[in-house]
């Protein structure tokens, strides 16, 4: 069970300030959507929660279940609870998909090897569920996978590793409608009282299939508006520009939006 | 020079077959001269032509310069080397004297207890010899000749004479000349026409690896339409007291035949391994070198394939791992001498703890090599800033209708890949190991299972220092 709390998070990439004080709380069992125009810091927030060394925390903390994870290494965070489905999953030739997932499960199992046969059975079941060709278990990790196949493979890893806190960074980008439905099916299958999730997306489309509990809008490195699923629907109609305008007049008066 | 004859305890049985319990322990001491060579030949009861060949090679050896390229060989003292100690006659050293480092590696890569002492040279005989005796009988029933080169010279002198030195003349290079002058041991393998050697020949050599001599001479002949998959060497460290290893390997692949020759070497880091390996591939035949170099102080090895028949195919797949104080200078030569000949070279290297691995290769198309094709790929991973790598590819093309592709990449372990793997919970060391294993996979997947498993463990073990 994981509760994520982000407090006043300020993050630099190189010399550039990207996040300007993000506050966010995701309770166990909740799925949140994070929306916003390009370049507003959505991916930076995702990567910073995972601990990507390219991003430097200047101020603020990330708390998971009452524990400050700001200083934890990437792999410690992963073993604790966090999973990040990346926008551009890496290809690693020569390591089979199955071996990699098995190694990751072993790492999470306090060094005790996970029994191979039940693992393979589970892998097969999840691959069928996500309509992934069984041959992909033995193919190199993401090697020569199409963009959509990589995204589906991220969801497969999530289903196998069963994290308590998943961040899905534009899991819907580059997917046709059929693939989108399959990915959504995978996310919905994870839903439980012990699973929380942050979905980063540009479009409302994904939210038709995975209905979020809370929607946040991010602009200029801050969460500027939060609400229910209807916020995404409204946004689809009005667009970000209009929202920016409305908010612009408010922020110029110095109002905090959180 | 001293010559001693003594009676050994009964455990010094020749693994190649039954023989007398009385064996001379024979060493020519340090240094080399004509008398040394005569003594070697006499001790082996060789025919006159072999002695002549040795003496001639010795003249050539004396007149030839050291290699003018590649690693520094100035520290080899050729006068301090024992040129003849019959490998099977070596007196077992005490297990206690085997360096701890070697013992630890045996343990870490899971070498069975029974084999450890043998591999370290502190046991002269492997316990399950009977199994291999049966294997030998099985091969004989197919007409395959498979024995050490010395024994072959006694039992099939005409066959040895027909092929010995025909691909690699003594004058090829200084160390080929030296080998021809003082050679001992090595393997002779003859596969008759249309015979497919379907036995696990590697298992024999898995056991035999501890005894590789300094100046082995190996001859393989695969007659028309025959095939063989030959594996030698060992992933376990080969603890050698001898500091120079200069082998010569000649492989004849006749029309329509197939030969794959796999070598894994992990010499201890005092060894200079300077080898000459060459194969001839006749019409529509296939020759494949699979070559792994994991140890030694210096390795210089550029296996070549002379594609002499139309439609012949040659390939080289190699890995080199160079750690502290190691220099691997390896590569391949593909000499296309006939139409429609194809060759492939894939060379992979990992340098860590300041090690150096260079690729040196030659692709040659003679005028006769119409429509030749060749593909060369060199990939290197540098684990740290102190490690280094260079590639020296040479193309010598006399035709106008051939194609050559060459790719070379030198990289670090990708930070982005590391991050991706770590984001799934793998720690830095495990993630690095997985990436390295993935990098080597095109090589390891070609190995027999037990070699692949050991190689994985060995690389992980070697990498531990680099990625702590």
- CB contact under 8 Å between B424 and A93, yes or no, is no
DSSP label of B48: H
Residues of A in contact with B440 (CB under 8 A): 94
Average pLDDT over residues A164-192: 95
- Per mean pLDDT, which range of B261-265, B279-283, B314-318, B387-391 is the poorest? B261-265
CA distance A253 to chain B (A): 41
CA distance A27 to chain B (A): 22
Q: Which residues pair with A154 in a beta bridge?
A: none
Q: Would the pLDDT of B10 be above 90?
A: no
Residues with Cβ within 8 Å of residue A175, at least 6 apart in sequence: A148, A151, A183
Average pLDDT over residues A209-228: 95
pLDDT > 90: percent of chain A: 83
- Per mean pLDDT, which range of B185-189, B295-299, B361-365, B400-404 is the poorest? B185-189
Token pair 């692709």 is found at B363
pLDDT per residue over B329-345, tens digit each?
999 999 999 999 999 99
- pLDDT value, residue B212: 47
Q: Say how far residue A212 (Cα) sits from the centre of its chain.
A: 13
B95: contact with A, CB 8 A cutoff = no
Query: Nearest Cα to B348, choosing from B277, B274, B439?
Result: B439
Give the tokens for residue A79.
Answer: 């073993």
Q: Are A160 and A129 in contact (CB under 8 A)?
A: no
- pLDDT value, residue B209: 40
Residue of A47, A79, A91, A95 to mutate, interface with B, max B Cβ within 10 Å: A95
B55: contact with A, CB 8 A cutoff = no
CA distance B278 to chain A (A): 30
Q: Which of B425, B434, B439 sits opposite A75 (nearest CB)?
A: B425
- The overall average pLDDT reported for chain A is 91
Give the side-chain half-sphere CA count within 13 A for B380.
Answer: 24
Assigned fold of A4-91+162-251: Rossmann fold (3.40.50)
3-state secondary structure of B345: strand
CA distance B273 to A192: 62
- CB contact under 8 Å between A140 and B416, yes or no, is no
3-state secondary structure of A120: helix
Better pLDDT: A240 or B302: B302
Q: Which of B417, B423, B439 sits opposite A50 (nearest CB)?
A: B423
B453: contact with A, CB 8 A cutoff = no
Confidence of residue A110 (pLDDT cuts 50, 70, 90): confident
Instruction: Dihedral sign for Cα A154, A158, A161, A165, please.
Output: positive
- CB contact under 8 Å between B431 and A93, yes or no, is no
Residues of B in contact with A43 (CB under 8 A): none
Query: Nearest Cα to A19, choosing from A60, A52, A51, A50?
Result: A60
Residues of B in contact with A108 (CB under 8 A): 425
Q: Could you tell me the end-to-end alpha-carbon distance of chain A, in angstroms, rounded to an integer?
A: 25
Taking residue B72's Cβ as centre, other Cβ atoms within 10 Å add up to 9
Confidence of residue B202 (pLDDT cuts 50, 70, 90): low
Better pLDDT: B150 or A189: A189
Taking residue A74's Cβ as centre, other Cβ atoms within 10 Å add up to 26
What is the residue-wise DSSP string for B233-281?
E-SS-B--S-SEE--EEEEEE-TT-EEEEEEEE-B-TT-EEEEEEEEEE
Query: What are phi and psi for residue A101, nearest 5 degrees?
Result: -65, -40
- CB contact under 8 Å between B435 and A79, yes or no, is no
CA distance A63 to chain B (A): 18
Query: What are phi and psi for residue A16, nearest 5 degrees?
Result: -95, 130
- CB contact under 8 Å between A78 and B422, yes or no, is yes
- pLDDT value, residue B468: 43
Q: Which of B425, B427, B434 sits opposite A95 (nearest CB)?
A: B434
- CB contact under 8 Å between B424 and A107, yes or no, is yes
Confidence of residue A248 (pLDDT cuts 50, 70, 90): low
Confidence of residue B320 (pLDDT cuts 50, 70, 90): very high
Residue of B nearest to A103 (CA): B426
Residues of B in contact with A75 (CB under 8 A): 422-423, 425-428, 431
Q: Would the pLDDT of A251 be above 70?
A: no
- CB contact under 8 Å between A94 and B440, yes or no, is yes
Q: In this complex, how many residue pairs, one in chain A and one in chain B, have their CB atoms less than 8 Å apart?
A: 72
pLDDT per residue over B119-162, tens digit each?
555 443 443 444 456 667 778 888 998 888 888 999 999 999 99
Better pLDDT: B163 or A256: B163
With residue A160 as reference, give the H or E element that holds it: helix A147-161
Confidence of residue B26 (pLDDT cuts 50, 70, 90): low
Confidence of residue A203 (pLDDT cuts 50, 70, 90): confident
- Per mean pLDDT, which range of A135-144, A229-238, B3-12, B179-188 is the poorest? B3-12
Residues of A in contact with B379 (CB under 8 A): none
Query: Nearest Cα to B79, choosing from B55, B59, B54, B62?
Result: B62
pLDDT per residue over B425-437, tens digit each?
999 989 998 999 9
Q: Domain residue spans in chain A?
A: 4-91+162-251
- pLDDT value, residue B425: 96
- The overall average pLDDT reported for chain B is 82
């Amino acid at each position: 069970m994981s509760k994520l709390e982000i407090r006043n998070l300020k993050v630099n990439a190189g010399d550039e300030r990207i996040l300007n004080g993000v506050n966010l709380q995701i309770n166990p069992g909740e799925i949140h959507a994070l929306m916003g125009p390009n370049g507003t810091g959505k991916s930076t927030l995702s990567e910073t929660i995972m601990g990507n060394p390219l991003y430097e925390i200047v101020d603020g903390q990330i708390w998971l279940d009452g524990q400050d994870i700001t200083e934890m290494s990437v792999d410690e965070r992963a073993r604790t609870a966090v999973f990040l489905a990346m926008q551009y999953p890496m290809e690693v030739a020569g390591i089979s998909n199955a071996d990699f997932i098995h190694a990751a499960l072993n790492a999470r199992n306090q060094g005790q090897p996970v029994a191979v046969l039940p693992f393979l059975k589970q892998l097969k079941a999840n691959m069928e569920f996500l309509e992934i060709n069984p041959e992909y278990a033995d193919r190199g990790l993401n090697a020569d996978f199409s963009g959509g196949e990589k995204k589906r493979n991220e969801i497969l890893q999530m289903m196998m590793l069963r994290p308590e806190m998943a961040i899905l960074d534009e899991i819907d980008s580059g997917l046709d409608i059929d693939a989108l439905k399959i990915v959504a099916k995978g996310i919905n299958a994870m839903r439980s009282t012990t699973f929380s999730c942050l979905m980063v997306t540009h479009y409302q489309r994904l939210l038709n299939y995975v209905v979020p509990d809370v929607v946040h809008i991010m602009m200029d490195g801050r969460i500027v508006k939060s609400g229910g699923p209807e916020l995404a629907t409204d946004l689809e109609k009005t667009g970000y520009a209009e929202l920016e305008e409305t908010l612009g007049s408010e922020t110029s008066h110095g109002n905090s939006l959180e | 020079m001293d010559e001693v004859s003594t009676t050994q305890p009964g455990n010094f049985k020749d693994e190649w077959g039954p023989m007398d319990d009385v064996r001379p322990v024979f060493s020519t001491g340090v240094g080399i001269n004509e008398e040394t060579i005569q003594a070697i030949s006499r001790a082996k009861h060789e025919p006159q032509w072999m002695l002549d060949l040795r003496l001639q090679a010795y003249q050539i050896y004396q007149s030839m310069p050291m290699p003018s390229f590649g690693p520094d060989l100035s520290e080899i003292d050729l006068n301090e080397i024992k040129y003849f100690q019959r490998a099977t006659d070596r007196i077992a050293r005490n297990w206690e004297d085997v360096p701890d480092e070697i013992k630890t590696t045996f343990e870490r890569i899971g070498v069975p207890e029974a084999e450890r002492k043998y591999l370290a040279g502190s046991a002269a005989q492997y316990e399950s010899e009977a199994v291999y005796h049966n294997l030998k009988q099985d091969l004989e029933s197919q007409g395959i000749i498979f024995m050490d080169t010395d024994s072959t010279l006694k039992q099939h002198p005409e066959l040895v004479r027909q092929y010995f030195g025909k691909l690699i003349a003594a004058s090829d290079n200084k160390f080929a000349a030296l080998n021809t002058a003082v050679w001992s041991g090595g393997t002779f393998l003859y596969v008759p026409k249309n015979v497919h050697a379907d036995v696990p020949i590697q298992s024999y050599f898995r056991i035999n690896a501890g005894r590789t001599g300094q100046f082995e001479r190996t001859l393989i002949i695969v007659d028309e339409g025959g095939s063989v998959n030959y594996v030698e060497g060992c992933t376990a460290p080969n603890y050698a007291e001898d500091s120079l290893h200069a082998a010569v390997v000649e492989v004849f692949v006749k029309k329509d035949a197939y030969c794959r020759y796999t070598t894994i070497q992990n010499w201890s880091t005092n060894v200079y391994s300077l080898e000459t390996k060459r194969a001839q591939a006749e019409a529509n035949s296939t020759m494949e070198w699979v070559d792994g170099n994991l140890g030694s102080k210096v390795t210089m090895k550029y296996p070549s394939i002379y594609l002499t028949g139309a439609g012949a195919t040659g390939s080289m797949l190699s890995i080199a791992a160079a750690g502290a104080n190691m220099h691997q200078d390896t590569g391949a030569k593909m000499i296309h001498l006939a139409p429609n000949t194809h060759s492939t070279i894939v060379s992979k290297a990992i340098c860590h703890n300041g090690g150096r691995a260079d690729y040196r290769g030659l692709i040659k198309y003679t005028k006769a090599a119409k429509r030749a094709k060749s593909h060369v790929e060199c990939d290197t991973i540098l684990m740290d800033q102190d490690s280094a790598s260079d590639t020296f590819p040479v193309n010598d093309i006399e035709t106008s209708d051939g194609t050559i592709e060459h790719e070379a990449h030198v990289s670090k372990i990708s930070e982005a890949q590391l991050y991706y793997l770590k984001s799934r919970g793998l720690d830095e060391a495990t993630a690095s190991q997985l990436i390295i294993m993935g990098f080597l996979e095109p090589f390891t997947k070609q190995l027999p299972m037990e070699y692949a498993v050991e190689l994985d463990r060995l690389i992980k073990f070697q990498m531990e220092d680099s990625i702590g």
